[in-house]
Chains A and B, each alone.
Chain A
Amino acid sequence: MTVFHFFNCAILTFGPHAVYYSATPLSEYDTLGTSIKAALVYLGTALVKLVCLATFLNVSDSESFDPYQELLKALIGFIDVAGLYFALTQLTHRNISQNHKFQAVGLGWAFADSVLHRLAPLWLGARGLEFTWDYVLQGLEANANLVLSISLAAFGSLIWLRKNKPRTLVPLIYICAGLVATMPSITSYLSRGWGWHFLDVVVFELGTSLVMALISWWLVAQCQRPSA
């Protein structure tokens, strides 16, 4: 619906990434390089996932929820986790604290995800004359995705980078990490199996992201105490 609407939806989709970068201490420590590298790793991961999906999945026309296919998709989704592991541990970073590292990686990851999945539909669809709420909802989804990516990166850094964790919290970390990693499968199940509309799914994602953000913040704070 005109370029104005496209502009609105674009700042809703990509604005928070820029705001996050400039508002938190990430900008002061110049972690842009880390974010860019994380974005590139995401690109590679996406390509690998694409190839796996094309090879193993058979395309069906129906919109129904096929448990076997969804299980396969979830398994392939764990390639995401592998990519995140690679980004967190293998890339050579300058001396930045772990806190900032996982935030930068999460930010880069989420930004690449938004660009790859949401920029093309936005450019092609939001500039037309017809008005739909879809693109605004998509922007909200991008926001939720940002928070979820950073949470996942936080869990990842806790699992792989922090060596001394309080014993009791470890299972909680793994459970939360698993939940966030399987979010795509959960949302697709909701929209296809239960027939939720896009609006409901986005609200669910926003809620989950807030909850996960709080949990991850608390966990990071808890795990930081022994070394502080």
Chain B
Amino acid sequence: MAMAQVKPPGPGGGRQVLESMYSMIALVFILVACVELCDAATVVDVYRLIQYDISGAPFGSRLANLNHHAGSLHFAPGSDLSRTVLIIPLRELNISFVTEYITQKQPLGGLLFLLPQIFSIENRERATSNHQIDGEVPMKNYLAELEKLLIHSKIPYPVYFAFEDDDIEAVLADVKRNDVSGQPATATTGGYKLVVSVPEPKKRASPTITNIQGWLSGLKTDGDANQLPTIAIVASYDTFGAAPALSVGSDSNGSGVVALLEIARLFSILYSNPKTRGRYNLLFGLTSGGPYNYNGTHKWLRSFDQRQRESIDYAICLNSIGSWDNDLWIHVSKPPENAYIKQIFEGFSSVAEELGLNVGLKHKKINISNPRVAWEHEQFSRLRVTAATLSELPVAPELLESTGSLVDGRPFVNETAIIRSVKLVAESLARHIYGHEGKNVQIFADNSSLAVNPSYIKSWLDLLSQTPRVAPFLSKNDPFILALKKELEDNTDEVNVQHEVLDGMFTFYDSTRAKLNVYQVASVTFDLLLLLVLGSYLIVLFSFLVITTRGLDDLISLFRRPTSRKVKTA
């Protein structure tokens, strides 16, 4: 019985051996590859400066690969830095030096900026006290200045951002010491080598922008022959910054998105009961393409037909309402004498008075021939829809300014400001919808079932502050976009998602984050020296062994053999 179970070693066994051999060889290759990849002293996450073109004109850092020696700001003046990467901590930043270097197009191997941990988007666990934030205000200004410089320059070498941590600080201290002692790192004197190996950055073909809209229907009684009027509340959710992998835009425009979601939630509670449903439709729009002259809003409005557009009574756009103290601005493009504008402004002012804050009105005319769209409401105005933008910014930002930069992080946004903004907008809209203008009625009073929910705002703000949202790098089915869609679905009747392609004026390139390997290298002279020492060691060993085992004569005879042979033959 046992014999029948024994397999005879035949061709099957041979194949097994062969297979195990192949797997062994594969294992060896994997081992070799693994060890080759992870033998750096330090590996740091780095984020690349954005690379983009505006109508073909290149901006940002044009290279991604890095393989040069590290240097610090203490380099000897006049030394050649074309094969050196300068590590510049933000705390020691000399903005004039960097400006000079970039504008004069001096050759450099690369730039690595070290940012304090407060700007990290993964820093949520550490509670940032107000004292810490106040201490970082000068940092904030330097960083803002630096960003503005970098975004608008064309830099032919790689520029990366990293966050301070112990490893890289130790490396920097070492590099500084070497530089101060007058030994800059080159191939022959050793030091540290910074290596980033990523594929060549490629253009992102057809970047998509996604607009999400939620529709809350008003109460249509049988007597109404026409369509109900609509009020639109719009906020753009995408960002643009110096490092696309870090552009979370907590204030611009995370605060607007959070406020919009909270307003949608409050009105959905009101509208769920037919007794409290208003006689206005509410349209909530989360648009993309904000930094690029509100391209997404333009395409979204174009997708409406004439009747729908005419039914929009007015639109309120929310832009940066997260870090103000007492003053908000309503920006309009129609003249303030216009009846509709007056009505909107008065409604907001009366609520603002009750809440104890100031609202001012700013008028900026639009120039149809100028493609620059500074505020979102201008896209509405160009299509003859009354609109206004509520913002803490007193003046219109320039192109690519206030669009969610590196300094726009969670520690610098105030939930209280957003809560007050939500109260202002919701109360003003509700009084207009239900016809209680001018009356001292608190619809969304605190401690009521319609109170603004601070934890809702906080949790959405936290989420937004951890999600970089640069539109070309957000795919159609990005989980964040789906989350926004689901949230609107929960709070509105009908949700539509519109996918469009970003207009051709802007071109973006990928490769936004990488891993930096820091190697400590010895110089070539060291290797040669070691070779010399080893060679002499082996020679001495050889002579020693010959002398002790065969005698000194043998050693000498080793060198004299040719002559002794000559003597023999002669």
Chain A interface (Cβ < 8 Å from any Cβ of B): 1-2, 4-5, 7-8, 11-12, 15-16, 19-20, 22-25, 124-125, 127-131, 136
Contacts and interface: CB of A to CB of B under 8 A. Distances in A.
B545 interface: yes
Nearest to A5: B527
Interface string B528-549: 0011001001100111111001
A8 B529 CA distance: 10
Contacts, number: 71
Interface in B14-52: 31-32, 35-36, 39-41
Nearest to B555: A23
The A contact surface, by secondary structure, is helix
B39 A11 contact: no
B561 interface: no
A130 B40 contact: yes
B65 interface: no
Size range of the chain B interface in the assembly: 20 to 34
16 contacts: A5-B522, A7-B531, A11-B534, A16-B538, A19-B538, A19-B541, A23-B542, A23-B549, A24-B545, A24-B550, A124-B32, A125-B35, A128-B39, A129-B193, A130-B39, A131-B522
B527 A15 contact: no
A202 to B, nearest CB: 15
A20 B550 CA distance: 12
A159 to B, nearest CB: 23
Nearest to A217: B548
Most buried by A among B41, B549, B550: B549
B463 interface: no
A25 B527 contact: no
A140 to B, nearest CB: 10
Given A1-B521, A23-B549, A129-B40, A8 B31 contact: no
A11 B534 CA distance: 8
A145 to B, nearest CB: 15
Contacts of B190: 131
Nearest to B195: A129
B519 A130 contact: yes
B520 interface: yes
Interface string B507-530: 000000000000111101001001
- Kindly name the residue among B31, B520, B522, B531 whose own CB sees the greatest number of chain A CB atoms within 10 A: B522
Interface of B: 31-32, 35-36, 39-41, 190, 193, 195, 519-522, 524, 527, 530-531, 534, 537-538, 541-546, 549-550
A2 B527 contact: yes
B545 A20 contact: yes
A124 B41 contact: no
A177 B295 CA distance: 86
A19 B545 contact: yes
Nearest to B35: A124
Contacts of B520: 130-131
B32 A129 contact: no
A27 to B, nearest CB: 10
B541 A24 contact: no
A5 B40 CA distance: 16
Contact of B530 (A15, A20, A128, A136): A136
Contacts of A24: 545-546, 549-550
Contacts of B544: 23
